[in-house]
Amino acid sequence: MNKIIILVIALFFLNNCSFNENSRIWKEKEKKLESQKKLEKVFAETNPVLSEFNPELKIELIKIKLNNKVVENKNNYGFQNYDGSLNKIANYKFSKLENIDQLNFKPIFLKDGLIFFDKKGSIIRFNNMQKVLWTNNYYSKAEKKLKPKLYFASDNENLFVFDDIAKFYSVNINSGKLNWIKNNIYPFNSEIKKLGNKIFVVDYKNILRSYNINNGSEYWNLKTEDSFTISNSKYSLIIIDNAIIFSNSIGDITAVDVETGLIIWQLPTQSSNIANESYNFKISKLVSDGNSIFFSNNKNEFYSIDVKTGTINWINDINSNITPILNNNLIFTVSNEGYLFVIDKNKGNIIRVTDLYKNYKIKHRKNIMPIGFSIGKKNLYLTNSDGNMIVADLSLSNINKIEKVSGNLISEPFIFNQNLFVIRNGSIIKYN
């Protein structure tokens, strides 16, 4: 009888209590998450859309005048002023990188050139004539052998560098002279955002860190729930008003006060099972219109969440982990199967689905993945894992051109100062 009483008490305890959230033993978070998803999901099906829908529907694009200055806190990767003929006009060369499973890097674009790095972690500044103005390396012989990957941010006077071997530093853009250098406990794995004299970055342990840009001293840090494996995806950050909002390896989206480092809200988007398989979990960059945040993942989920509260506005079934683009009341994204989705921003309804891989044979298209895309005045430019860039007319749904950029992996396309750039291993190609 005593054993029965003890068992009943134990069951009662299990049903009504929970351990620390970090233990991930109890499932209350997942229950709440699933409940919210069921209420807010736009479509109930779980399979990705693999067919066209309204492919001939005309889309009216709102022309947005974009500033070509270096703006690190731009939260909306909108339409840009490019309508070129894809003539190669420059090739910025560097020594080939190693272990580039994803060419998830971004150069620093300047009016008179650009900044990138090579396989030993040397920073290289080029002018517009492809001439090297300066190159500097701040790593020891042993560190160079680790082939550090560098992530950049800039305030137009100084370059801020974070890497995947736990070092971070600042150099003068004009001279390459070192301002300061520091070490972190863990390697970094995120975009970098700057606000005032603060710079924000996330490391591999899902810790958001705030540093002083003048000397590299830390203001505060915030640890979010960690995963058991290292993520294969770079985390995203955006700044809206007084909040820094970021993603981590297990799909949590967290808003933090930029001054205090205190959590404003947090939204878990995945169950605890993701902690065991975070290497395969990929999430897009976060983009925002100031009221909502939009992002997607390779678990067939596209989210719209409220900026102020973190509550879900809607979820749609789109399988994508590349950066969406906003224009007025429309969202553009490309699924991992090669379909362009045009979505109503406010309600989450799919307006149009266009097959961007329609010119590929079925056998071939199964072996390629989209890397990223940009949108110019008329065309969409989509880079893919086969080294090709697809140029599609947005208004007519036509595939105008398939440009061979490289025989290997290439980066997403970048548009700056009416030119288009694509990184391949060993060089950055500039198109007019």
Write down the pLDDT at residue 69.
40
CATH architecture of structural domain 105-232+234-281: 7 Propeller (2.130)
Which two tokens mark 145?
């052998």
Write down the pLDDT at residue 126.
97
* Beta pairing, strands 132-136 & 287-288: unpaired
pLDDT in tens, 193-240: 999 999 999 999 999 999 999 999 999 999 998 766 666 678 999 999
Fill in the amino acid letter for 101.
D
Please compute the mean of the pLDDT values over residues 33-38 and round it to a whole number. Answer: 54
pLDDT in tens, 150-184: 999 999 899 999 999 999 999 999 999 999 999 99
**From start to end of 97-251, where are the E strands?**
108-110, 113-117, 123-127, 132-136, 150-154, 158-163, 167-172, 178-183, 193-195, 198-202, 207-212, 218-223, 237-240, 243-247
Write down the pLDDT at residue 413.
94
Q: What is the mean pLDDT of the chain?
A: 84
pLDDT tier at 97, thresholds 50, 70, 90: confident
Q: Are 146 and 189 in contact (CB under 8 A)?
A: no
Write down the pLDDT at residue 99.
67
Torsion 334-408-249-181 (CA) sign? negative
Give the pTM: 0.85
Please compute the mean of the pLDDT values over residues 52-64 and round it to a whole number. Answer: 74
How many angstroms separate the Cα of 386 from the Cα of each of 105, 123, 173, 383, 395?
18, 28, 34, 8, 26
Q: Are 312 and 305 in contact (CB under 8 A)?
A: yes
Write down the pLDDT at residue 272.
60
pLDDT in tens, 79-91: 677 888 899 999 9
- CA neighbor of 320 nearest in space, from 340, 304, 298: 298
Please compute the mean of the pLDDT values over residues 236-259 and round it to a whole number. Answer: 94
Fill in the amino acid letter for 183.
N
Which two tokens mark 64?
């947005």
Domain ranges of the chain: 105-232+234-281
Place of tokens 């990184």: 423
Q: Are 188 and 148 in contact (CB under 8 A)?
A: no
Write down the pLDDT at residue 55.
79
Is the pLDDT at 186 greater than 60, yes or no? yes
Compute the distance between CA of residue 151 and CA of residue 193 in angstroms, rounded to an integer: 11
CA dihedral 224, 230, 231, 232 (to 10 degrees): 160
Which two tokens mark 316?
């749609």
Which two tokens mark 230?
């290292």
pLDDT in tens, 317-342: 999 999 999 988 899 999 999 999 99
Please compute the mean of the pLDDT values over residues 52-76 and round it to a whole number. Answer: 60
Is the pLDDT at 278 greater than 50, yes or no? yes
Write down the pLDDT at residue 96.
87
